[in-house]
Amino acid sequence: MKNQEIIIITGLSGSGKSSAAEAFEDCGYYCVDNMPVALLPNFLEIPVINSAKIQGFAFVMDLREIDFLLKFPAIFDSLKTEGYHLKIIFLEASDTVLIKRYSHTRRHHPLSREKNLTDAIHTEKEQLKTLRKSADILIDTSELNIHELKSKITAIAQQKIVTEKMKISVISFGYKYGIPQNADLVIDVRFLKNPFFIPELKPKNGKEEEVRNFVIHNGEAITFLKKYLELLDYLIPLYKNEGKSYLTIAIGCTGGRHRSVAIADAIFEHIRSHYQKVNITHRDIEKDAD
């Protein structure tokens, strides 16, 4: 289940959280309204709902639960530390719109037992300030009807469904054997110092510690990796948003045995820390040393 996206739908009472949950459910998410935050870790361990057919999970959590504000920071932080992909969507609306919505539905605000509606709304906004700041997505529903809100939520859900399909491949190669035909991004690392000219390193390859250290731990490689990884961090989300299914990053040196292998491994480890579907291939590592 850690590979599944977990959406926390929260925000102001009357802002459209139930409608947002319905939209996620229509997109194939498993949804629970008014989920006690303390039960979330145990709920996520239930094997019966760990199905590949489920696109993700969406839980509505708010001030209807008395201890929510007290418990959510530690629980959310713990789940993220354990590797869960947790995202908070915070819905809000103007005081005027919220008052109008409550007058139409005739429902009671959860904080209105000892306050009038206006005071209850202001109190809720104050209490939710910290949660609002930690939200990944803010949606003001003041000008949205129910269909527009569901359309916005559907766009968020479908973006995740589409982008999760993109598979990233990292491949090292030797230019003497040709550039991989399926490469989308190609980087030439022949400017780095070549272990081929070090007698004791020549018969080894870039996966072995001595060669890896020789390639990676020098000024040019350190600077290059910093800049290139920053570029990939910028580009990969753009490719995902565009709906690309496959992205192949090719790293080449002369023979594909030393420098490209070590650099490809470093790039792979970096990408793997951010994305699930990543693989690596060293196409020419078993061929003659360069």
Tell whether the model's pLDDT for residue 164 goes beyond 60: no
Is the distance from CB of 287 to CB of 277 less than 8 angstroms? no
Bridge partners of 280, per DSSP, are 170
The Cα–Cα gap between 49 and 56 comes to 10
- Going by C-alpha positions, the residue among 138, 164, 145, 158 that lies closest to residue 29 is 158
- Mean pLDDT computed over 44-66: 81
| Angle value at C-alpha 275, between 274 and 281, nearest 5 degrees | 110
Bridge partners of 168, per DSSP, are 247, 278
The Cα–Cα gap between 251 and 180 comes to 10
Q: State the pTM of this model.
A: 0.56
The tens digit of pLDDT for each residue in 31-41 reads: 999 999 999 99
Q: How confident is the model at residue 227 (pLDDT cuts 50, 70, 90)?
A: very high
- Mean pLDDT computed over 97-121: 83
Is the distance from CB of 87 to CB of 136 less than 8 angstroms? yes
- Mean pLDDT computed over 170-196: 94
Burial 56-86 (b: 16+ CB within 10 A, else e): bbbbbbbbebeebeebbeebbeebeeeebbb
The Cα–Cα gap between 135 and 117 comes to 25
The tens digit of pLDDT for each residue in 136-151 reads: 999 999 999 999 999 9
The tens digit of pLDDT for each residue in 76-93 reads: 999 988 888 899 999 999
Task: Give me the pLDDT at residue 216, please.
Answer: 93
Task: Give me the pLDDT at residue 290, please.
Answer: 45
Q: What is the mean pLDDT of the chain?
A: 89
Tokens for 166?
A: 């993109």
Domains in the chain: boundaries: 5-163, 167-282
Residues ≥6 apart with Cβ < 8 Å to 143: none
Tokens 């009038």 belong to: 116
Q: How far is CA 98 from CA 73, 118, 194, 240, 248, in A?
A: 26, 9, 67, 36, 49
- Going by C-alpha positions, the residue among 167, 141, 252 that lies closest to residue 206 is 252
Query: CATH homologous superfamily for 5-163?
Result: P-loop containing nucleotide triphosphate hydrolases (3.40.50.300)
The Cα–Cα gap between 116 and 165 comes to 49
- Going by C-alpha positions, the residue among 124, 162, 139 that lies closest to residue 12 is 124
Task: Give me the pLDDT at residue 161, please.
Answer: 54
Instruction: Say what percent of the chain tops pLDDT 70.
Output: 93
- Mean pLDDT computed over 112-131: 88
Task: Give me the pLDDT at residue 52, please.
Answer: 58
